[in-house]
A and B are shown apart, each in its own frame.
Chain A
């Protein structure tokens, strides 16, 4: 087994580079985290306090940002006046539903693409992946027309279906790689032991479970953050969080406080999800890479 250590030799140049890198990373960290931090903090400030800014250049007055009385009235407004609990539920159902459908169908398709050799297999696989290459905007109008024909606009089912159109090829593509790395011999052993082909498939699922888990999280992430499908296809009855947040920007009054709160409500669940499966995500995504 090759050494896992990347052997580096310290020279004056590399030391300087290290310092530069650290400074760069510090700036990058601030750049990335600051908007989230501001959003989080602002969601608890009433509007007056939110717009209190120190004069330009007065870094000593930075404490002004933290000088406020926290209030939860924006959250209250969201959930009691603006129906955000429905939108949150819609987001959860649409994202979760499409992830589940994609995984169930995708794992079976990936298994057969991995195991069975049939005529036209290479073409079929490429065709499946290529649907993911198309820009979503380009297919949106035709999809809308189709969905309207089936009365699926504004329904949660329609939204789940819409998300599945791009989650499913992704699932098949990734999961095929995982199945390829499970040796045939295990299913064959299972079949000789007495299982049918489908039972053998179920028997090797625990081996690709990290991959499936990682993939479910990615599916949920894509669907949860999606704005395009949600605003076009989900509009009217299945609004999810992103388009709902957009609607808080109104002609007569931009409700900054509620917008900040909505942002927090949209971001925090995904953060939790990421933290929860952080360990498995790395295992799952790299599992296919190294043969055991």
Chain B
């Protein structure tokens, strides 16, 4: 068991920068997810942690040990690859035994560890099969089993459930989280799926274009995104954004948009007054923070229903406003039809304002 500290790490591929000045600290036993879209540098980071890529600049420490110059086999890590990387000509048992054999462990130890892992992953009945005879989910469990038997200091998982079908993915999310809690090993989990990161991780490191955007608990990332990009990336369905102007009226700010005018609370106005640059701002509000109804009120905004998507447990409503379109998530009893007028109320306590020049959040 060890903590992981990434200090000022850069990664260049020739002249292209893949990772810029990355700083992450991961506590012993913690589950940290590195989240981001394709090409954001998360896989490069993981491979640098594993020793499969050179570190262009900066240091990586496991506990107190600096690992920059250590080969993968000396780092005491276990990795699960996106495509499982099982040895096709070996049985499941031999695949899982391989890391222990390479270290010269005794047959007894190998048998014991494999039994433990196979039981935890429910693949005991598959031990004599070859990878060709396994389904995707079974291959993935074998790959995870191969990582578990090592009892390493650190787990590195590279999008392990990306190629499974949706139902299996949903199930594996819970199982992987439970497994990590049970084993207590530090885990770094790379994914592009924000649902996976939010549901499994203790803390999430959100990356974009090689730069770490925010490092925090799922709640922090969801409720207090540090910039517009993180706010738009995390959360399904994604946040609605509006380009607005701010005017001062009677000691408070008013948010002005061609389709609506909304009062900004005193506390939020105070925050803005200190930090605001210019008068334009981007407002972000999540679909579940908007209520939709048939009756208008003082604060409500009128719009036309464009499309409704009933999902069973929720209903998504696409609403047309003047100069804008937004998505509202409401309860399944919603009865509005397409083309009807509806009235929206914003939860102004929970909305977010972002600077229009660089996207940094005011609140």
Binding site for B on A (CB under 8 A): 183, 185-186, 188-196, 199, 203, 206-207, 292
Contact = CB atoms under 8 A, between A and B. Distances in A.
A193 B146 contact: yes
14 contacts: A183-B83, A183-B85, A185-B85, A188-B50, A188-B81, A188-B85, A189-B81, A189-B146, A190-B98, A192-B51, A192-B79, A193-B98, A194-B73, A195-B102
B314 to A, nearest CB: 38
Contacts of B87: 186, 189-190, 203
A194 B78 contact: no
B195 interface: no
A206 B73 contact: no
A199 B102 CA distance: 9
Interface string B75-111: 0011101111111110000000011001100000000
A191 B98 contact: no
B99 A194 contact: yes
Contacts, number: 58
Kindly name the residue among A192, A195, A203 whose own CB sees the greatest number of chain B CB atoms within 10 A.
A192
Contacts of B71: 191, 196
Contacts of A191: 51-52, 71-73
Given A194-B103, A195-B73, A199-B102, A188 B89 contact: no
A188 to B, nearest CB: 5
A189 B84 CA distance: 9
Give the secondary structure class of A's interface: helix
Nearest to B52: A188
Nearest to A197: B71
B82 to A, nearest CB: 8
Interface in B25-57: 50-52
Nearest to A195: B102
A185 B83 contact: yes
B49 to A, nearest CB: 11
A188 B98 CA distance: 13
Nearest to A193: B99
Contacts of B89: 206-207
Interface in B106-130: none
Given A189-B79, A193-B146, 16 more contacts: A185-B82, A185-B83, A185-B84, A186-B88, A188-B72, A189-B86, A189-B87, A190-B98, A192-B72, A192-B73, A193-B99, A193-B102, A193-B150, A194-B102, A194-B103, A207-B88
Interface of B: 50-52, 71-73, 77-79, 81-89, 98-99, 102-103, 146, 150
Nearest to B104: A194
Contacts of B73: 191-196
Nearest to B89: A206
A192 B83 CA distance: 15
A60 to B, nearest CB: 59
B57 to A, nearest CB: 21
Contacts of A199: 102
A195 B52 CA distance: 13
Contacts of A183: 83, 85
B39 to A, nearest CB: 19
B75 to A, nearest CB: 8
A186 B88 CA distance: 9
Contacts of B72: 188, 191-192
9 closest cross-chain pairs (CB), A and B: A185-B85, A193-B99, A194-B102, A189-B85, A194-B73, A192-B79, A206-B89, A191-B72, A192-B72
B331 to A, nearest CB: 45
Contacts of B102: 193-195, 199
Contacts of A186: 85-88
Among the interface residues B77, B79, B84, which one has the most CB atoms of the partner chain A within 10 A?
B79
B94 to A, nearest CB: 11
A188 B150 CA distance: 16
Contacts of A207: 88-89
A192 B52 CA distance: 8
Contacts of A185: 81-85
A186 B89 CA distance: 11
B2 to A, nearest CB: 16
A183 B89 CA distance: 14
Which of A186, A189, A199, A207 counts the most B-chain CB atoms under 10 A from its CB? A189
A185 B46 CA distance: 14
Contacts of A192: 50-52, 72-73, 77-79
A212 B88 CA distance: 17
Contacts of B82: 185
A6 to B, nearest CB: 27
Contacts of B146: 189, 193
A288 B81 CA distance: 23
Contacts of B98: 190, 193
Residue from B85, B86, B103 with most neighbouring chain A CB atoms (10 Å): B85
Nearest to A188: B52
A173 to B, nearest CB: 24
A207 B73 CA distance: 22
Nearest to B83: A185
A260 B52 CA distance: 61
B73 to A, nearest CB: 4
A120 to B, nearest CB: 16
Contacts of B52: 188, 191-192
A189 B51 CA distance: 11
Nearest to B90: A206
B76 to A, nearest CB: 9
Contacts of B88: 186, 207, 292
A179 to B, nearest CB: 15
Contacts of A195: 73, 102
A39 to B, nearest CB: 42
Contacts of B51: 191-192
Contacts of B77: 192
